[in-house]
Amino acid sequence: MKKNLQKVLILALGLTTTIASAQWSASSLARFDNSDSDNRSGEMRSTLSVDMSAVHISADYNWNTNGTMGSGDIYEAYVSTDVMGYGTLTMGRKDLSFGSGALISSNSWGMDRYTNDGIDFSANFSGFDINLGTLGGIDMGNNYINASGEFGGATFNVLMLSQGENSAHGYDVGYSLMNGDLNLSVSMNSDYDGDEMTTIGASYNVFENMTASVSRTTYGDATKLTDAIGSTMLTDAVAAVAEVFTSGYAGTDSTYTNGYGFDNDGNVIVTSTVYNDGSYTAVSDTFVAGSAGSAAVDATYSEAVAATFTDGFGMANTQMSAGWANGVLGYQAAGTEVTSLGLSYDLGDISLGYTAHSLTNEGSADREASVISIGYTLNDNTSLSLTRIITEMEVESTWISVSIGL
């Protein structure tokens, strides 16, 4: 009994020490839709995180301010270990983001955050950061490799994704000039269907704390998924057949042959002998119906099937995948060009931002969208922000966000 009690106390002491040494943190994000002052609504997300040596666990709990039942879920849960000094192996659920974020990215603004389950191995070789791993669990057929680095004022990021027989890739290149005041960037991406999205941008520090930016995003033509199938003949045409009649038989007269006889004096005389008796009296021709005719039948053909195409570039699990629900302009249709102009000003505790988007597509009318944001940092743990969004569909919304961290 004493030995069992001793083991329980030792286990409890070890568990208490582990929990006490763990690093705990908590944060809460509340966002209120202030578009209609008579019908305001809000959402809240609270996050609790704990780090214990090589283990990290964090959970989100979301609920609405109208009092409806909320829902909770594990945000991140992974274990990491050093691999003989060559790199770090991480297994579990993790929030990933690489390069421009067009293929894989976090969602820090929206309430529903994106994570990936799998394995990640990260290492640094001669100044280049390498990440390779799996997505969707331990599935070697669904994997990625990312390489990034910086040299001579230039930065690059290359991301390659493989999902069965399909692949996606992204190439990002940046270059800084004028002591970092001018930054140029190019991002070229292709999704699993082969659709393309290319962004060329530049930003310039007008003066201290103020930055102006411009970018042009071009979406390539939609990728053909299936070829068109033409109409083919299934059955041949059949010509009309007329009604057929058969004739009867013509009657015949009686026929006779000349016979010979003797009279009383013994002389030969000619007589007529009936060869054909009178049953074959001549009659007119008659007709009886033969086989019935049939109408003409047209040939039959299969229905033609048009070629099918994708809707354009798009990837799941990115900030752009849900568009304005995540506070950004989402993916656009194939053939669209988006020109964006931005201006940001950081005054320390106060930040201002404005971005205007102009969308053009030959298949639709030109559209406009814009985002205005004002942020204020109350202290090291609390910040407020106001975001005004006018979408390309002319839908206006105003969001007030409160972020608290512990």
Q: Look at residue 66 and tell me whether its pLDDT is greater than 90.
A: no
* 271-300 average pLDDT score: 58
Distance CA 34, CA 389 (A): 11
Domains of the chain, residue spans: 26-223+309-405, 233-301
DSSP per position, 102-170 = SSS---SSSSS---EEEEEEEEEETTEEEEEEESSSS-TTEEEEEEEEEETTEEEEEEEEEETTEEEEE
Amino acid symbol at 18: T
* 69-88 average pLDDT score: 92
* 295-304 average pLDDT score: 85
Q: Look at residue 327 and tell me whether its pLDDT is greater than 90.
A: yes
Q: 0.85 cut: is pTM over it?
A: no
Q: Look at residue 18 and tell me whether its pLDDT is greater than 50.
A: no
Q: Look at residue 264 and tell me whether its pLDDT is greater than 80.
A: no
* 173-181 average pLDDT score: 95
267: pLDDT confidence band, cut at 50, 70 and 90? low
> Would you state the pLDDT for residue 269?
61
Mean pLDDT of the chain: 85
> Would you state the pLDDT for residue 152?
85
* 195-214 average pLDDT score: 96
Q: Look at residue 363 and tell me whether its pLDDT is greater than 80.
A: yes
Q: How far apart are the first and last CA of the chain?
A: 44
* 334-351 average pLDDT score: 96
Say which residues have a Cβ less than 8 Å from residue 233's Cβ, sequence separation at least 6. Answer: 299, 300, 301
Give the count of beta carbons closer than 10 Å to the beta carbon of residue 275: 10
CATH class (in words) of the domain with range 26-223+309-405: mainly beta
> Would you state the pLDDT for residue 307?
84
Q: Look at residue 257 and give its three-state secondary structure.
A: strand
Distance CA 375, CA 108 (A): 15
Greater confidence (268 vs 345) lies with: 345
